[in-house]
Amino acid sequence: MTGLENKRAIVTGGSAGIGLEIVRSLRAQGAEVTAIARNDAKLDAARDAGARAIVGDATDAGLIGSAIDTVDPDILILNAGARLAAKTLDRQNWDDFSAIWNTDVRATFVGIQAALHRPLRPGSRVLVMSSGAAMVMSLPAIKPEDLRMSGGYIGAKRMVWFMAHQANAVSRERGLNVLFQVLVPAQLMAGTELGRVVATAYADAEGITVEEHILGRYGSHLEPAQVGRQVAELLDDPAYRTGVAYGIRAGVQPFPLD
Ligand SMILES: NC(=O)c1ccc[n+]([C@@H]2O[C@H](COP(=O)([O-])OP(=O)(O)OC[C@H]3O[C@@H](n4cnc5c(N)ncnc54)[C@H](OP(=O)(O)O)[C@@H]3O)[C@@H](O)[C@H]2O)c1
């Protein structure tokens, strides 16, 4: 029995990739999980893990509000994310460039507002999905050139990270005791649909295989299943209540970033 037994969780983008692995891990720890995504058929994977499914768009404030009213969650995971166009800037149109803002940032805005407006019950956690790419230009180890096909992704993922801080300020001011935290997977994962598209674009540009690209840049594979397991640990272990953002890398425990 863990501290997640009978907790109620909502996972946006819970039908595939990292979100599906989070769903599976939370279910394995005894949580009641509701997965939200747009494609009904793909949600069968979450249903197979014992989750309830809501078909809809995570940027729809009405849908997220009614999901929160129905589930009354202790845990809200804002993971839904758009695909990157994975093209250099000169080959993107505005829709390509802004897709991440219109999905990831908007869905985070909608989810955070719903959590603050309801508000969620005291002691609840809201996890926002950012990316290690958000640290480019503040971390010399990440070369801007290596992210040249990411369009609006960097700013969007930095924005959702900062939104968690903004939300914590409101939570403190209003004495809500709702904690907003940020997940920062620090390696591209070719094991998700989104990650595969990006890894393939860079590998093709470099004339190498996806495997060579991932191992050349990161030295190892970060598997979505590890992220899923570590999100469950992060929610269960009180040691992870102290920080706002946690980095996730292959083979190590989540590490605090701020
Ligand atoms: N893969 C990586 O290397 C990596 C690294 C760092 C961070 N991340 C972040 O992790 C998150 C998940 O990425 P992933 O690689 O697992 O992506 P993925 O395999 O493409 O899965 C995306 C999930 O989000 C759902 N989704 C997309 N738009 C949605 C919307 N408007 N409303 C509801 N659900 C929506 C998708 O289902 P439907 O399309 O059916 O709605 C799917 O369930 C994203 O925020 C991504 O930016 C990924």
Residues 196-254 have pLDDT tens digits of: 999 999 999 999 999 999 999 999 999 999 999 999 999 999 999 999 999 999 999 99
Closest-lying ligand 1 atom to the alpha carbon of residue 100: 47
Ligand 1 site-directed mutation target among 194, 196, 210, 248, most atoms within 8 Å of CB: 194
Identify the band that residue 155 occupies on the pLDDT scale cut at 50, 70 and 90: very high
Question: Which residue has a Cα nearest atom 45 of ligand 1?
Answer: 81
Atom in ligand 1 nearest the alpha carbon of residue 15: 43
The distance of Cα 171 from the centroid of its chain, to the nearest Å, equals: 21
pTM score of the predicted model = 0.98
Mean of pLDDT values over 135-157: 96
Q: Which atom of ligand 1 is nearest to the CA of 194?
A: 20
Residue 253: both structure tokens together: 């425990």
State in Å: Cα 103 to ligand 1 middle. Answer: 10
Q: What is the pLDDT of residue 154?
A: 97
In short, whether 192's Cβ falls inside 6 Å of ligand 1 is yes
DSSP string, 68-110: HHHH--SEEEE---PPP--S-GGG--HHHHHHHIIIIIHHHHH
Residue with tokens 């860079």: 202
User: How far lies 159's CA from each of 83, 122, 166, 198, 199, in Å?
Assistant: 17, 25, 10, 21, 23
Burial (CB < 10 A; 0-12, 13-18, 19+), residue 96, is middle
Average pLDDT of the chain, as a whole number? 97
Residue 170 has a pLDDT of 98
Closest CA relative to residue 127, chosen from 257, 8, 12, 39: 12
Tell me the CATH architecture of domain 8-188+223-251: 3-Layer(aba) Sandwich (3.40)
Give percent of the chain above pLDDT 90.
99
For ligand 1, say whether the CB of 16 is within 6 Å of any of its atoms: yes
Structure tokens at 125: 């956690």
Whether residue 1 is predicted with pLDDT greater than 90 in this model: the reply is no
Alpha carbon nearest to ligand 1 atom 16, residue? 17
